[in-house]
Amino acid sequence: MCKSMPTKELEKLGGLFDTVTGRSKSFQEKCSKTKLLAVKDYALASSECIKLAKQTLDVNGPGFNSSSLDKARTAIESGQLDSSVVNALERVRSSYVESVLKPAVRSFLQSEEKTITDLEALYLNALKIEGLLEVVQFLTKVQPKKV
């Protein structure tokens, strides 16, 4: 049987998601514009995606697996938006969600005095990684075939 989450916890999460969604809007718009640009000018979109990736992966801090980050940065530096970049970003996302975000959310839900600001920053990082991953996946699908 599945336990349902208490209303108080749902309200806390709802407030968190609303706040972070608003704060990530600018980044998500850049991601959307990059995907739209890919249909018109793939080379420019690729360049924009690499800039977004460098910004997103320019993080150091607790919870980021440095090995995964280094591999993702190296893949991005190659300039080739292909499956190696997708795989590297998926590893960064997975390790971040499992080792940082999930424990932080659990702690936030169990503690009254836990500050929401820290969790917002963690969740914002996760949204940026996810947004970047979506852009790279899209670009790999619309990439012009080499002749």
pLDDT at 137: 97
pLDDT score recorded for residue 1: 43
Distance CA 27, CA 111 (A): 30
Distance of CA 135 to the CA centre of its chain: 10
Give yes or no for residue 50 having a pLDDT over 70. yes
Q: How many C-beta atoms surround the C-beta of residue 58 within 10 A? A: 9
CA–CA separation, 47 and 81 (whole Å):
10
Entry pTM: 0.82
Domain edges within the chain: 25-142
Grouping H, G, I as helix, E, B as strand and the rest as coil, residue 78 is coil
CA distances in angstroms from 20 to 14, 48, 127, listed in the order given: 10, 23, 9
> Is pLDDT above 70 for 10?
no
Asked if residue 2 has pLDDT above 60, the reply is: no
pLDDT in tens, 90-137: 999 999 999 888 888 888 777 755 577 778 888 888 899 999 999 999
Among 137, 123, 133, smallest CA distance to 18 is for: 123
Per residue in 61-90, pLDDT tens? 666 778 888 899 999 988 888 999 999 999
pLDDT tens, residue by residue, 14-27 = 666 666 777 778 99
